[in-house]
Structure 1
Amino acid sequence: MSIAAQEAFGDRLPDAVEIRGAEQLRRIIASQMREGEPMTLSLALDGKLQNVTLAPALAASLMEMLRLISSGRGFRMIPVEAELTTQQAADLLNVSRPYLIGLLEDGKIPFVRTGRHRRIRAEHLFAHKEKRDAARSRALEDLAASDALDGLV
């Protein structure tokens, strides 16, 4: 199957060849990465060497994508300016659609209406997720500290 005909990983899991290739490329890139520094890769294209410089953020993003593929998992890339349906947003938060709609109606996540449909900007959803995850993390830290004081740990 040609690369152009292959579906994105959001709709399927990588096959064994893709997993091996991603792991090989991940190891090569990881061996060249230096924290906070751009990295240059030399690629042989049609018998000619071409250098490609990856900024740290691009290298880290590529590494994350390769890590997911090499572990046999699928993924989706969502631009931060994307507008999501309520079902897509609920799936990303791992909550039910009715629960998400409650969050929207309570003003916890901004949204816009397109006709009778609600649309959520990915950046607002990600911001809510970060706040939620930080609150959960603080609560777990508080529980652990409380358990330590009570001698339960």
Structure 2
Amino acid sequence: MNATQQASAFGERLPTELEISNAETLRQIVASQVKDDGDTIINVSNEQGEALPVTLSPALAHSFLEVLRVISSGRGFQLIPLDSQLTTQQAADLLNVSRPHLIKVLERGDIPFERVGRHRRIKASELLKYKEKRDDKRASALADMAEFDGKHGLL
């Protein structure tokens, strides 16, 4: 693997075996230090070998651990700021639906969007709100089906 491939983000490639192993080791180290009730302070050595304290808020620590968890599982990922404006193709990809289906959802008014010329743009935060509602509705429907099956001996 050349330097360009190594430097490219995980949204463009999968982690190497070494990266997976290193991410898991780092995840275990950070996880062992994380405090549930406040900031976590970890020491990181600089090039001169001096230990420098780094303070991680609970949100930062848990986000960092989640990124390390994804990498150590061998998966690629993309970070998307909540205020990002997504194209319809990007939004469809995130929802794992076709672009024509997403257009129907947008035109029904289920997800707010804006037009930039002829193109639709969806704010990432709005898309994620819709996804959460959709996923909750699906989980509820599956739970109802499982309950029905249990009551009627269909398991």
TM-score for both structures, normalised by structure 2: 0.93
C-alpha deviation, 1:35, in angstroms: 2.3
Residue of structure 1 in register with 2:117 after alignment: 115
Residue of structure 1 in register with 2:11 after alignment: 10
CA distance in structure 2 between the aligned counterparts of 1:96 and 1:2, rounded to whole angstroms: 35
Listed as ranges, the gaps of 5+ residues in structure 1 are none
Where does 1:41-60 land on structure 2 (aligned, <5 Å)?
41-45=42-46, 46-60=48-62
CA distance in structure 2 between the aligned counterparts of 1:120 and 1:107, rounded to whole angstroms: 12
C-alpha deviation, 1:2, in angstroms: 5.5
C-alpha deviation, 1:71, in angstroms: 1.0
Instruction: Mark the CA change 1:43 to 1:133 in structure 2 (over 3 Å): closer, same or farther.
Output: same
Residue of structure 2 in register with 1:75 after alignment: 77
Which of 124, 131, 150 is residue 148 of structure 1 equivalent to? 150
CA distance in structure 1 between the aligned counterparts of 2:76 and 2:98, rounded to whole angstroms: 21
Residue of structure 2 in register with 1:21 after alignment: 22
Residue of structure 2 in register with 1:104 after alignment: 106
Aligned amino acid, residue 149 of structure 2 = D
Listed as ranges, the gaps of 5+ residues in structure 2 are none
CA distance in structure 1 between the aligned counterparts of 2:64 and 2:49, rounded to whole angstroms: 24
| Percent of aligned pairs with the same amino acid | 54
C-alpha deviation, 1:21, in angstroms: 1.0
SS of 1:74 mapped into structure 2:
coil
Aligned amino acid, residue 14 of structure 2 = L
Where does 1:130-149 land on structure 2 (aligned, <5 Å)?
130-149=132-151
Which of 88, 94, 97 is residue 95 of structure 1 equivalent to? 97
C-alpha deviation, 1:152, in angstroms: 2.5
SS of 1:9 mapped into structure 2:
coil
Corresponding residue pairs, total = 153
Aligned amino acid, residue 86 of structure 1 = T
CA distance in structure 2 between the aligned counterparts of 1:36 and 1:74, rounded to whole angstroms: 31
TM-score for both structures, normalised by structure 1: 0.94
- The more displaced of 105-114 and 43-52 is 43-52
C-alpha deviation, 1:37, in angstroms: 2.5
Residue of structure 2 in register with 1:65 after alignment: 67
CA distance in structure 1 between the aligned counterparts of 2:3 and 2:50, rounded to whole angstroms: 23
CA distance in structure 2 between the aligned counterparts of 1:132 and 1:63, rounded to whole angstroms: 26
| Structure 1 residue runs of 4 or more that deviate by more than 2 Å after TM superposition | 34-37
